[in-house]
Amino acid sequence: MSDPSGAPILEATGLRSGYHGITVIKGIDLEVRNEVFAVLGANGAGKTTLLATLARLIPSMSGVLRFLGEDVTHTPAFETAARGIGYVPQEKGVFTDLTVAENLTIGGMIGDRAVDERMSEVFELFPDLAVLRNQVAGTLSGGESRMVACGRALMQDPTLLLLDEPTAGLSPLYVDMFFEKITEIHRTRGVGIILAEQNATKALQVADRVMVLSLGEAFLVEEAGNLTTEQLKEGYRI
């Protein structure tokens, strides 16, 4: 369901952000449509900071951010979530003292469709969670927790899903499964996806377009199939 030629879902112009007055993201321009858009880069390139800024969890220092054509540069994160931006952080991102089902229900507080209907869709996507629905999230493995975090974001019925290194620290089995699910989520639900990922090989297999981020700047934006090993190495400063 990729439509890179369609209207942008998310647009950033001259976006700058960081922490404690230190600029990490240094004037990023991007347009993301109904596609899988991968953000690649070495450790410290600014991938996590960029996604947190797009999710409005980190305030921008300057620049403009538009979602579905509306200026959301200074819109609170809870409101951009309600408008359709789902965010899955790099860490587990679950409420450890709540069950799997309770975690998902919290995501379902946003949106109009019946919570049970949406939860059934999440269980269809992640069958393991149906088995674990009454288990306390704090007792889950890393891969199971990541499924819950992703499922909770999907409960919001997002238009755009931001995934911050969803496979970091996971076993190869879970890594393969997650990349399959990324493709499935995009194809079957028509959700645009921004995927920050260190595993360039896997990301290039599922992405339509790629931004290589280098020290907080866009080194290049390219069709995934056209990105060369030399460009990737140069972007990673290898």
Strands 217-223 and 209-214: antiparallel
**Residue pLDDT, tens place only, 87-133:** 999 876 899 999 999 999 999 999 899 999 999 999 999 999 999 99
Residue 3 · residue 39 · CB < 8 Å: no
User: Structural domain boundaries of the chain?
Assistant: 1-84+158-238, 93-157
pLDDT number for residue 1: 44
CB–CB of 38/204 below 8 Å? yes
Residues of the chain with pLDDT under 50: 1
Indicate the fold that domain 1-84+158-238 takes in CATH: Rossmann fold (3.40.50)
DSSP letter for 32, please: E
- Short-list 194, 204, 108, CA closest to 157: 108
End-to-end CA distance of the chain: 34
Q: How far, in Å, CA of 35 to CA of 190, rounded? A: 9
Helix (H) or strand (E) holding 130: helix 127-131
Question: How high is the pLDDT of residue 85?
Answer: 98
Q: To 10 degrees, the CA torsion angle through 67, 183, 111, 31?
A: 0
* Residue where the block lists tokens 């290049």: 220
State residue 51's pLDDT score: 98
Cα separation, 187 vs 182, whole angstroms: 9
Partners of residue 32 on adjacent β-strands = 10
pTM above 0.75, yes or no: yes
Tell me the residue type at 206: V
